[in-house]
Amino acid sequence: MIMRNKYQKKSKHTWSWASFSGLWAVWLGLLLVSPGCDWGGSDSSEKPPQPNRPLRIAVVEDEVLAERIQREWMAQNAEPISLQNVSRNSLDGAQRMSADVILFSTVDLGQLIAGQQLRPLPFAANDDNSAAEPNSAVDLDDVLPLNRRLEMRWGEQTYAVTLGSPVLVLMYRKDWFEKLGLEPPTTWTQYQDVVQKLANRPEFAPQQADEAWFAVAEPWKAGWASRMFLQRAAAYVSSPNQYSNVFDVTTMKALIDTEPFVQALTEMQAAANLLPADAKRLDPHEAAEIFWSGNTPLALTWPSAARTADSLLAEMNVGFAACPGSDQFYLFSSGQWQDRAHVVSVPLLGTSGRMAGMSAGARDLPSVMNFLAWLTSAQQDLRIAQQSPATTMYRFSHLVRPQAWVETAAKPAAEQYAQVLRNNHAATAHQVLLRIPGANQYLAVLDQHVDAVLSGAQEPAAALAEVAAEWDRITDQLGRANQKDAFAKSLGLNL
C-alpha cells in the first residue's frame, strides 16, 4: 500500500508519487525477469504483503532517534509502523533483519552492504550542486554535495538517504581570544601554539570550584580517540589526486604507520601533555559541555539544537572555524612531503551522522520509499534530525536558517557555522572515516593504541606499527580482495 501524505511534491529530482506507481511496476518487473538479480528475498512460497501490515523500522543503537520517529509518525499518519532498536552485532548478515527500513550510523554502511542487509535505492545522486524546491519531499539537489555524492553512495549506487553528518569544527570564545591576542588557528602547528598559550587559566576566566581548566576540549573518549586522530591526519594525507590514505587503494596494505600519521599522533600527544587527565575521557557532546561551562575557551566538536547550553552563559561571544589543516601533504607515491599553494583544511566525513536505507527484506517497496521521503522532508527536519545530537544541517535550505540547528547560546554565531559547512562541502580535498566491512574492528584497534599514546604507555611510531600489523591481519581475515573492492567503493571509485 502506498502511504500518501502532504509532503509529496514534484521536483526535478523528487519522486512524483502520482505518476510513480507505473514506474515501480516496470522497475520491479525488470528485476523479476532479469537473470542474476538477487534481491535476497525469500522463495516464491511467501505470501504477498498484507495491505495493513505495519512498516518495520530497525534503528541501530539509537533509542532517542527511534522514539522521536515513532512519536512524529503516529502524530501525522494513520498507518502504523513498528520500530525496534537493534544491536550493531546484527549488521554482519548472519541473519537478515526483519525490517523494511534500516536507520544506522554512517560508519556502518559498508558492513550493511557486505552483510547483504541493504538494497540500492532506485535513483542516482547526481553531481548538480544547485538547490531546487527546498520544500520538496526528497529533493536531492538540495542535499549538500559531500553528503549526496559520497556518503549516500557506495561505488556508483545510492544506498541511503542522509539525516545529517557532522564534521568536527573549532568552537572558540571570541572575547577571550581577543583579550589574549589570539586568532583561530588554521594549521595544526598554530593550533599547538594556541593550546600552549591557553594551558594556564587566564586571570579574567571565571573560577569554577573543583573544576579543572582545559586549554582545549577534544573528543578522545573510547570510540573517539581514533576519529580525532584521523581528523588530525586528514590534511597531511589528502590531495585531489591521491586516493590512498589509511590504506593503499591498489593493495589494501595499511598505511597507518607511515610518516604523516606518526606526525599527527606526535602532535596529538604534545597537546595531551598540556591537559588534565579528565580531558582524555570526553566525547564531542561532553567537550561542548566543558566549553559551555566556561572551563575552556576552545573545543573541537559541533553545535547542536539537541544540546541545552547553560543559560548563565547565554551571552558568551562564540565563534566557529574549520578544523586546522596544513600547507603541506605527504605524497605516498614518492614518499615525500609536497607544498601546497595555501593552507587547506580537510573535513573528515562520517565521524557521526545517521542514514536510512531500504532493507534487503523490504516487503512493500513503494511504502518504504514513501517513508524515506517523509523522514527526510523539510517539514520533518526540525522535528526529527534536528533533535539528534548525532546530526547537523545537510541541505542548502538549512544553511539559510542555521539558527534552528544550534543551541541557544550559539545562535548569534550560527551564520558563521553555516559558512564553515559551506566551505567544507566546497573543499577540493576531503576524507571519509572508514565505513568498509569490519570498520568498527579497525577503529577499535586504532582507538586502543591512540589512547595508549595519550596516556604515555606507548610512543607514536611503535603504537602505529602495531596498528598497521593488526589492520593487515583483519584485512586478510576478511579477505583482502573483498576489502580492496569495498575500500574503493567507499571512496566512490570503481576500480
* Least confident interval from 27-31, 215-219, 373-377: 27-31
Domain 17-34+50-159+354-389 matches domain 169-349+433-490 at the CATH topology level: yes
Residues 356, 202: Cα–Cα separation, whole Å: 46
CA distance 65 to 354: 9
Residue 89, pLDDT score: 79
Q: Higher pLDDT residue, 381 or 132?
A: 381
Mean pLDDT of 288-313: 83
Cα(441)–Cα(190) distance, rounded to whole angstroms? 33
pLDDT band at 210 (very low <50, low <70, confident <90, very high): low
In sequence order, what are the residues at sequence separation of 6 or more whose Cβ sits closer than 8 angstroms to the Cβ of residue 52? 1
Q: Which residues pair with 81 in a beta bridge?
A: 55
- From CA 251, how far away is CA 253, in angstroms rounded? 5
Q: Is the pLDDT of residue 212 over 90?
A: no
Q: How high is the pLDDT of residue 118? A: 94
pLDDT, residue 4, reads 39
Q: Which residue has the cell 598505511?
A: 255
Q: Is the pLDDT of residue 47 over 50?
A: no
pLDDT above 80 for 19: no
Listing DSSP states for 222-260 in one string gives TTTHHHHHHHHHHHHH-BTTB--SSB-TTT--B-TTSHH
Give yes or no for a contact between 55 and 100, defined as CB atoms under 8 angstroms apart. yes
User: How far is 97 from 74, CA to CA, in rounded Å?
Assistant: 23
The pLDDT score that the predictor gives to residue 315 is 66
> What's the pLDDT at 130?
37
SS3 95: coil
Per-residue pLDDT tens for 322-367?
A: 999 999 999 999 999 999 999 999 999 999 999 999 999 999 888 9
pLDDT tens-digit readout, 388-409:
999 999 999 999 999 999 998 8
- The proportion of the chain whose per-residue pLDDT surpasses 90, expressed as a percent, equals 67
Mean pLDDT (whole number) for 226-243: 94
**Domain 169-349+433-490 belongs to what architecture?**
3-Layer(aba) Sandwich (3.40)
What distance in Å separates the CA atoms of residue 419 and residue 33, rounded to the nearest whole number?
A: 49
Strands 101-105 and 326-331, bridge-based pairing: unpaired
Domain boundaries, the chain: 17-34+50-159+354-389, 169-349+433-490
Taking the C-alpha atoms of residue 329 and residue 462, their distance in angstroms, rounded to an integer, is 22
Per residue in 406-438, pLDDT (tens digit) is 998 899 999 999 999 999 999 888 899 999 999
Q: What is the pLDDT of residue 283?
A: 96
Measured distance CA(331)–CA(404) in Å, rounded: 41
Q: Which of 148, 167, 165 is nearest to 108 (CA)?
A: 165
Which of 83-87, 131-135, 235-239 has the weakest average pLDDT?
131-135
Q: Burial level of 353, CB count in 10 A (0-12/13-18/19+)?
A: buried
Q: Nearest 5°: phi and psi at 330?
A: -95, 125
Residue 129 has pLDDT above 80, yes or no: no
What fold is seen in the domain 17-34+50-159+354-389? D-Maltodextrin-Binding Protein; domain 2 (3.40.190)
- Other CB atoms within a 10 A radius of the CB of residue 223 amount to 13
Give the residue-averaged pLDDT of 472-480. 97
Per-residue pLDDT at 321? 98
Give this prediction's pTM. 0.86
